[in-house]
């Protein structure tokens, strides 16, 4: 017997499962597989943050249920970060909510915003959780294609008015996963004006806010005029502080949206362990120099990969943010065929663009959370494979 709801059968099978199976097979045969598919930093959590967690573990008062919206210390640290980094004022009481990772908050925001049959505007390609969370809430995803010609920004004016009338939420993500696209504040100004015109709340996923290169600083949507009237922004400790396994994030901005999300959460989870929240507050309030050091390493890897790809005629733009490269699949392959071929022929895992939606066709994603030696090795294998192709 198979036991599950109709909702579950709507969720497409995990796109990576066939690639993961193949990868396991090759490894069993003793092949040294290089995985460029992993979206998890290869750096450790800075020691001062780990030590803060250890210290907080010794306090018995920290073993209790946390307060529902998160400990005040962390909410205040986040509001101070927004003032310092973006010049945005937040009320730590009503405009900041602590999450068990931003993925948790993004997923729970959907049932907080929509009723069955209502539409959510979601980027394609985009982070997989958006679409599945919409489906689990019996909502209808309306995909906004992200195209190279528009620098992977959605064409808002192309969305039919009938869709806009049914839409109860718009999701955005810059610096973007998987496209590595970035925007300037002018884009968010436009989004906020558009959202207000059609009364569509906006949620901006800002997981890569601090992973930026050269002099680029990623803008917060809350810097746009009047954004707090209609938008929230999701932040995460995972990528900036190399804390993916800790499960700690936050959402800031529009009070009414945050209040609705809190209702879902208060009836689902009871917040994150207090010592983790204390360590996260400490992460924000202590020295940040390792962030630019990590970014310099990502940048060095990125330039190396772009060079290797260019050598074999694969085009990819140089990102200003995120730790991904979004590269074009060579002629003659679909995204999936290309990813399968690379794994089969040279033992290199890349993520096919279609793992992030139909709009990812024609692309593949490389993660820069791998050492430069391994990236170079992967590049060399690719080069020799290309040589055999052209013979």
Ligand X SMILES: *Cc1c(COP(=O)(O)O)cnc(C)c1O
Binding site for ligand X (CB under 6 A): 39, 101-103, 127, 173, 177, 205, 207, 236, 238, 244, 249
Give min distance, CB of 104 to ligand X, in A.
6
Q: Which is nearer to ligand X, 112 or 207 (CB)?
A: 207
Query: Residue 221 pairs with which residues in a beta bridge?
Result: none
Q: What is the DSSP string of 128-149?
A: HHHHHHHHHTT-EEEEEE-BGG
Give min distance, CB of 40 to ligand X, in A.
8
Task: Give the Å distances, CA to CA, from 184 to 177, 291, 320.
Answer: 17, 21, 11
Give min distance, CB of 93 to ligand X, in A.
22
Give min distance, CB of 203 to ligand X, in A.
11
Q: What is the DSSP string of 329-364?
A: PPTT--HHHHHHHHHHHH-EE-EEGGGG-GGGTTEE
**β pairing state of 202-205 and 231-236:** parallel
Q: Which is nearer to ligand X, 70 or 347 (CB)?
A: 70
Q: Which is nearer to ligand X, 144 or 308 (CB)?
A: 144
Considering only CA atoms, give the Rg of the chain. 21
For residues 354 and 201, give the distance between their C-alpha atoms in angstroms, rounded to a whole number: 27
Extract the runs of DSSP E, i.e. beta strands, from the chain: 34-35, 96-99, 119-124, 140-145, 167-173, 202-205, 231-236, 249-253, 324-328, 348-349, 351-352, 363-367
Please choose, from the candidates 47, 38, 85, 372, the residue with its C-alpha nearest in 3D space to the C-alpha of residue 241.
47
Q: Which is nearer to ligand X, 294 or 379 (CB)?
A: 294
Q: Which is nearer to ligand X, 325 or 346 (CB)?
A: 325
Give min distance, CB of 321 to ligand X, in A.
11
Q: Which is nearer to ligand X, 127 or 298 (CB)?
A: 127
Q: How far apart are the first and last CA of the chain?
A: 53
Q: Which is nearer to ligand X, 207 or 382 (CB)?
A: 207
For residues 301 and 175, give the distance between their C-alpha atoms in angstroms, rounded to a whole number: 18
Give min distance, CB of 103 to ligand X, in A.
3
Give min distance, CB of 27 to ligand X, in A.
25
């Amino acid at each position: 017997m198979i036991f599950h709801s109709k909702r579950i059968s709507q969720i497409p099978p995990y796109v990576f499962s066939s690639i993961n199976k193949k990868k396991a097979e090759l490894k069993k045969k003793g092949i040294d597989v290089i995985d460029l598919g992993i979206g998890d930093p290869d750096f450790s959590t800075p020691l001062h943050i780990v030590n803060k967690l250890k210290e907080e573990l010794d306090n018995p008062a920290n073993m209790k249920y946390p307060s529902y919206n998160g400990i005040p210390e962390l909410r205040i640290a986040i509001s101070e970060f927004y003032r310092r980094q973006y010049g945005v004022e937040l009320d730590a009481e009503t405009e900041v909510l602590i999450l068990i990772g931003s993925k948790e908050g993004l997923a729970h925001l959907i049932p907080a915003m929509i009723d069955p049959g209502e539409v959510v505007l979601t980027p394609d390609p985009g982070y997989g959780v958006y679409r599945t969370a919409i489906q689990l809430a019996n909502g209808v995803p309306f995909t906004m294609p992200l195209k190279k010609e528009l620098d992977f920004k959605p064409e808002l004016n192309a969305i039919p008015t009938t869709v806009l009338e049914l839409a109860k939420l718009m999701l955005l993500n810059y610096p973007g996963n998987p496209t590595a696209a970035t925007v300037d504040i002018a884009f968010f100004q436009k989004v906020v004006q558009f959202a207000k015109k059609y009364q569509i709340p906006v949620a901006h996923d800002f997981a890569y806010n601090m992973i930026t290169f050269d002099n680029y600083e990623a803008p917060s949507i809350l810097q746009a005029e009047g954004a707090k009237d209609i938008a929230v922004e999701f932040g995460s400790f995972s990528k900036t502080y190399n804390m993916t396994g800790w499960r700690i994030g936050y959402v800031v901005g529009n009070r009414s949206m945050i209040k609705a999300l809190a209702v879902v959460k208060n009836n689902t989870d009871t917040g994150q362990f207090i010592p983790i929240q204390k360590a996260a507050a400490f992460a924000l309030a202590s020295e940040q120099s390792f962030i630019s050091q990590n970014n310099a390493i990502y940048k060095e890897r990125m330039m190396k990969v772009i060079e290797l790809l260019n050598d074999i005629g694969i085009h990819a733009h140089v990102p200003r943010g995120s730790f991904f490269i979004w590269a074009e699949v060579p002629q003659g392959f679909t995204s999936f065929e290309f990813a399968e071929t690379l794994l089969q022929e040279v033992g290199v895992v890349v993520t096919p663009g279609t793992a992030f939606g139909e709009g990812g066709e024609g692309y593949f994603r490389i993660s820069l959370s791998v050492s430069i030696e391994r990236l170079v090795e992967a590049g060399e294998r690719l080069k020799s494979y290309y040589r055999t192709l052209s013979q």
